[in-house]
Amino acid sequence: MMNLFKIAIRNLIRYKRRTLLTASLITIGVVFVLVFVSITGSFKAMMIGQITDSMLGHLQIHRKGYVASIDNLPLNLNMKSQAYAKVATVLDATPEVAAFSPRLKFGGMFSNFVETTNIRLNGIYPDREFQTVPLLTSRISEGKKVLNRGEILIPILLAKGLNVKLGDTVVIVATNADGSVNGKQFIVSGILESATGPGGRDGYVHIEDAAEVLRMPEAEVSEVAIRLKDFSRLPTAVKQLETKVAGVVNKEGRSMFEVHSWEQLSPFFNIARMIDVMTFFIKIMLIAIVLISIMNVMIMAVYERIREIGTIAAIGTLPGKIRSMFIIEGFCLGIVGAIVGGLLGSAVILIVNLVGIRFDFGQQQGLLLKATLNPNDLLTVSVIVIFVAVAASLQPAIKASKMEPIEALRHV
Amino acid sequence: MALIKAQNITKDYQTEDVVVHALQEVDFEIEPASFVSFVGPSGSGKTTILNLIGCLDKPSAGNLRIADTDVINLGRKESAAFRGKYLGFIFQDFNLIPVLTVYENIEYPLIMVQNIAPQERRERISRMLAAVDMTDQAHKYPHQISGGQKQRVAIARALVTNPALVLADEPTANLDSQTAYAVIGLMKKMRDDFGTTFIFSTHDTKIVGEAEVIFRLEDGRLVGKETKGGTKS
Ligand SMILES: Nc1ncnc2c1ncn2[C@@H]1O[C@H](COP(=O)(O)OP(=O)(O)O)[C@@H](O)[C@H]1O
Ligand SMILES: [Mg+2]
């Protein structure tokens, strides 16, 4: 075995230029894929982080039917306080859950006594909300990073459009569940930067204030946003909560709640999927590069060495050994490409991080792209390259092992 | 008992429009430890007969036994194994493996064909290197040595596995006459030292005088056998 490697490596060195060319081609492919996978992966993770951590949460629970008509923010599909209490009990008993925040969502009119416009509002318990979506406070560009009773956080576009400043008094008017209308004054305590996706341009008030505007004796809950301890366990957590919540039934015995992950709630999920598809095709391209280049080199190697093959076959080398000899040669090429490509790729990613690439995403500007290389990706790409290198050597190697020694020896 | 027993060997090559009778009803026996040559003009069938004895090809008809084995009915892998165990080859173009040193070329069959333990391998290789007088060139690559030296290495490679029989098809065709004599002389010395049977082919009528048994081929037929001492048949 050692000898097979020795012969393979010496043969690779013997055709230095060709080996170098092929190895560099594979290396470039590996570097390209790693950098692409790392940057898109980091971009994806970052965007998902932005979306889940600044407004959506990792997953949400609503009363059945709420999400289907979420655009209207229907008041008649809220959970009553007993229903919410049941959900809260379930969540409290689920160890995966890091934090959860009940929200009372409603649409209303926003007036600065001069002009009036529409606004979508979330009534929240500030502490719980900030724990569930920790990046929300970072969106408060002006003002304090807290929210007290009687205060309102308004989206920046609204502030600009109506020329509203911090500390201004504004009025919120909303239609109640029974059709009557009620209003309440608020002090603007913060301006919120927009976030991409639904709910990215909502305002926030205290949930008790929201209940007061809506004339609810006890605050109802439109949705419960949930943050998990481990985001990577999202699918299992969704399943777990679905079964747990399905056990909570109404008087008719039908389950009352529905569980949605961020993926079902944000259109960015489609972009994330697109990135995955692109990564997949890039990997296919890498496979094609490795396959074609290694196959090409190995076919040439076999052709050039027909007489050598005839010689070693004549003196009694078994076909299997001849086959291994060429497969190992392709394997070594793959290894070199994978290792050098891996090192170079990691270096490029390091440089990308050192240089610090900034980009804009929707209203958010100057986000710093932190490219991280997942060791799993490095491993996967290396394994793919080596596997494909071996597969590409198979046909030429088999051809070599099947040569008739006398014909091979006659070859000039 | 004879090492090789060939009866009625016929070999036809089917080309596009004609059948070439490369060998016709060839009969011979070769004793162990003999020093044999097949001689004849180009196209007389020397390579063909050596390929048959070397288990690299199969006759169209006839019987061939080597070392008590019916080699005609061996499969592809069995043939390879038989060659690795009983036969050694020396080629006209030396055919050393270019990426291996002199030492490693001689070592090759001990590792890749047979499976000899390292200690014994080293002993056998140094013995062979000394026998062909290449000890001080052991670390060189084939392209760094002369044709005569290459053929000496090839002889060492053929003999290092202790084969019963070494086949050499025109081993001196690419060497000047002085080197050619030296190579044939070395082969003979190896026969004396190791008792290995040597069969070589040549069209060189001077070189053939070194052989102890001479088979003359003409147009695929065996037309004469001479044994040193003057017996003709
Ligand atoms: N593979 C082959 N196909 C067709 N004819 C062949 C083949 N090999 C040898 N021959 C023919 O068989 C005859 C004997 O050839 P060969 O044994 O090579 O002679 P020598 O080695 O004595 O020069 C020649 O006529 C040659 O043309
Ligand atoms: Mg010939």
Q: Domains in chain B, please, with CATH? A: 4-232 (3.40.50.300)
**Distance (Å) from the alpha carbon of B103 to chain A's nearest alpha carbon:** 13
pLDDT value at residue B233 = 54
- Closest ligand 1 atom number to CA of residue B169: 21
Band (pLDDT 50/70/90 cuts) for residue B230 is: low
Q: Which amino acid is at A330?
A: G
Degrees to nearest 5, angle at CA B114 with B111 and B116: 65
Task: Quickly tell me which residue has 């747990």 as its tokens.
Answer: A244
Q: How far is ligand 2, taken at its centre, from the CA of residue B42, in Å?
A: 7
Query: Which residues, in sequence order, are bridge partners of residue A175?
Result: A181
The reported pLDDT for the residue numbered A253 is 72
Instruction: Detail the DSSP E strand segments found in A30-115.
Output: 59-63, 97-111
d(CA A171, CA A247): 41
pLDDT higher than 90, residue A370: no
Confidence of residue B228 (pLDDT cuts 50, 70, 90): confident
Cβ contact, residue pair B81, A319, below 8 Å: no
The lowest-confidence range among A268-272, A380-384, B33-37, B184-188 is A268-272
- Nearest CA to A186 out of A133, A109, A134 is that of A109
The phi and psi torsions of A59 (rounded to 5 degrees) equal -150, 170
As a whole number of angstroms, the distance between CA A73 and CA A56 comes to 15
Rg (CA), chain B: 18
Return the closest-CA partner of residue B155 out of B137, B141, B167. B167
Q: What is the ipTM of this complex?
A: 0.94
pLDDT at B231 over 70: no
pLDDT in tens, B135-194: 999 999 999 999 999 999 999 999 999 999 999 999 999 999 999 999 999 999 989 999
Residues with Cβ within 8 Å of B133's Cβ and at least 6 positions away in sequence, in order, are: B152
DSSP, collapsed to helix, strand or coil, labels residue A204 as strand
Residue A79 DSSP one-character state: B
Question: Token pair for residue B168?
Answer: 């050499």
Of the listed ranges A163-167, A190-194, A242-246, A274-278, the least confidently predicted one is: A242-246
Cβ separation of B112 and A10 shorter than 8 Å? no
Tell which residue, A55, A182, A200, A52, has the closest CA to residue A120: A200
Is residue B121 scored above 70 in pLDDT? yes
Q: pLDDT digits over A319-343, tens only?
A: 999 999 999 999 999 999 999 999 9
Backbone angles phi, psi at A221, to 5 degrees: -125, 125
Comparing CA positions, the residue from A196, A198, A234, A225 lying closest to residue A367 is A196
- For residue A97, give the nearest of A257, A262, A233 by alpha carbon: A233
Task: Report the relative pairing of strands B19-30 and B165-169 from DSSP bridges.
Answer: unpaired
Return the best residue to mutate from B10, B19, B47, B52 for the ligand 1 pocket (most ligand atoms within 8 A of CB): B47
DSSP character at residue A255: B
Q: What separation in Å is there between the alpha carbon of B22 and the centre of ligand 1?
A: 6
| Cα–Cα nearest to B3, from B221, B113, B163 | B163
pLDDT score of A58? 94
Q: Give the β-pairing of B35-39 and B197-202.
A: parallel
**Residue B105 above 90 pLDDT?**
yes
Strand partners, A170: A186
How far apart CA B206 and CA B214 sit, in angstroms, is 12
Average pLDDT over residues A69-73: 85
Of B56, B57, B77, the CB nearest to A318: B77
What's the mean pLDDT when you consider all of chain A? 90
Point out which residues pair with B200 in neighbouring strands. B37, B168
For residues A71-81, give the mean pLDDT. 88
Q: Which atom of ligand 1 is nearest to the CA of B51?
A: 17
Which of A33-37, A195-199, A390-394 is the most confident on average? A390-394
Give yes or no for residue B214 having a pLDDT over 80: yes
Residue A386 has a pLDDT of: 94
**Is residue A88 within a helix (H) or strand (E), and if so which, with residue range?**
helix A81-92
pTM (two decimals)? 0.81
User: Quick count: other Cβ atoms within 10 Å of Cβ A95?
Assistant: 8
Q: For position B12, what pLDDT does the model report?
A: 95
CA distances from A26 to A291, A383, A384, B225 (A): 10, 13, 12, 62
How does pLDDT run across B192-212, given as a tens digit for each residue?
A: 999 999 999 999 888 898 999
Exposed e or buried b for every residue in B114-139, given b needs 16+ CB within 10 A? eebeeeebeebbeebbebbebeebbe
Q: Are A356 and A262 in contact (CB under 8 A)?
A: no
Which stretch of DSSP H or E encloses residue B199?
strand B197-202
For B99, residues 6+ apart whose C-beta sits below 8 A from its C-beta are A7, A10, A11, A13, A14, B141
Q: What's the average model confidence in pLDDT over B81-108?
A: 95
Beta strands (DSSP E) in A257-327 are 257-261
Which residue matches tokens 């037309």?
B223
pLDDT at B218 > cutoff 90: yes
pLDDT tier for residue A193 given thresholds of 50, 70 and 90: confident
- Helices and strands counted in chain A (H then E): 13, 12
**Minimal CA–CA distance to A34: which of A305, A357, A385?**
A385
- Those residues whose C-beta lies under 8 Å from the C-beta of residue B48, and which sit 6 or more positions away, are B11, B22, B23, B57, B220
Q: Does the Cβ of B45 fall within 6 Å of ligand 1?
A: yes
Report, as an integer, the average pLDDT of A223-241: 92
What's the alpha-carbon Rg for chain A, to the nearest Å?
31
Are the Cβ atoms of A319 and B76 closer than 8 angstroms? yes
Beta-carbon neighbour count of residue A412 at 10 Å?
5
pLDDT by residue (tens digit) across A86-138?
899 999 999 999 999 999 999 999 999 999 999 999 999 999 999 999 988 88
Rounded to an integer, the average pLDDT of A393-403 is 96
Q: Do A11 and B80 touch (CB under 8 A)?
A: no
Ligand nearest to the CA of B173: 2
User: Of the candidates B85, B18, B98, B9, which has an alpha carbon nearest to the alpha carbon of residue B51?
Assistant: B9
What pLDDT was estimated at residue A361?
65
Q: Are B92 and B121 in contact (CB under 8 A)?
A: no
What is the rounded CA–CA span in Å between residue A219 and residue B75? 89
